[in-house]
Amino acid sequence: MAVVIDGKEAAASVISAVSEAAASLEKATGVKPGLAVVIVGNDPASHAYVSSKSKMAKQCGFNSVQHSLPEDTTQGDLQTLVSALNADPAIHGILVQLPLPKHLDADPVIQSISPQKDVDGLNTVNAGKIATGDLTSGLISCTPAGAMLLVKRIHGDDLSGLNAVVIGRSNLFGKPMGLLLLAANATVTMAHSKTRDLAGVCRGADILVAAVGRAQMVKADWVKPGATVIDVGINRVPAPDKGEGKTRLVGDVDFTQASAVAGAITPVPGGVGPMTIAMLMANTVIAAHRAAGQTAPNF
């Protein structure tokens, strides 16, 4: 039976380190890390996410600012707000909650966030730094950074000699995850829907990362015995045992099957999910240190 990698425990460890770093920064320089979260419209899931991020920021000792804009906000008004936050020295991290309402174009908004304040790590400047192997001067996208931290808990910092397969090639997760694994000396295969014999490719992986958005797609016979499996998927499936119309969360990996074969595996929920918000806090405190001319902590 596989070791279940506890993302909640790992995230709590990161949050504890972030809180200490924030307190020591404020004591040394008077600078309190500032995180601004922008949300447009009334999507209940987005509001729940934003609420949890704001609450965590306060727990870390940050100055947490939330801008809730109406559904009919224009592109110009949103860009104006981002520009004002870019110019505000008390704000070190800016996060625009996605998805935006359909009439708004997210990409120019994300790209207009100052790379130094882009705590989601989605600006092309930060993406480009990862691509060129610079993991120290930019801000790394939160979910891949969190998933990588879980990989390192099992294998350490140096992945030399290990084969890693990432299923999924999105700009948000798959591509940066592949680059982070490569930077740690793994031999990386990027797999996706057009990959021939996907199951066979996955069976060669010492580290298998699934990020495709298809519920329980990865079965036991896709997993090399003893492999580390990182499941990034979040899918809602019917759960008739809980009552009519009820659902439950599952990943892209069939956990019950795969955990019988894998050496280590992340659960869903409770695996990579908690790491995303923890790394958002880590990025904010890193950005605050840099803005204050201090050496940024490592996580």
Is residue 294 annotated as a catalytic residue, yes or no?
A: no
Q: Name the active-site residue from 97, 116, 206, 216.
A: 97
Using a 10 angstrom Cβ sphere, with 0-12 exposed, 13-18 middle and 19 or more buried, the burial of residue 118 is buried
- Rg, C-alpha atoms of the chain: 19
Q: E-assigned strands of 53-131?
A: 63-69, 93-96
Q: Quote the DSSP letter at residue 71.
A: T
Q: Is position 246 annotated as part of the catalytic site?
A: no
Buried b (16+ CB within 10 A) or exposed e, 165-192: bbbbbeebbbbbbbbbbbebebbbbbbe
For residue 283, give the amino acid letter.
N
Catalytic residue among 120, 206, 231, 254: 120
Asked if 53 is an active-site residue, the reply is: yes
Q: Which strand (E) or helix (H) includes residue 250?
A: strand 247-250
Strands in 82-186 per DSSP E: 93-96, 163-167
Positive or negative: CA dihedral 166, 140, 59, 88: negative
Task: Spot the catalytic one: 53, 129, 175, 224.
Answer: 53
Q: Pick from 110, 208, 125, 107: which is nearest to 162 by CA?
A: 208
Q: Annotated active-site positions, please?
A: 53, 97, 120
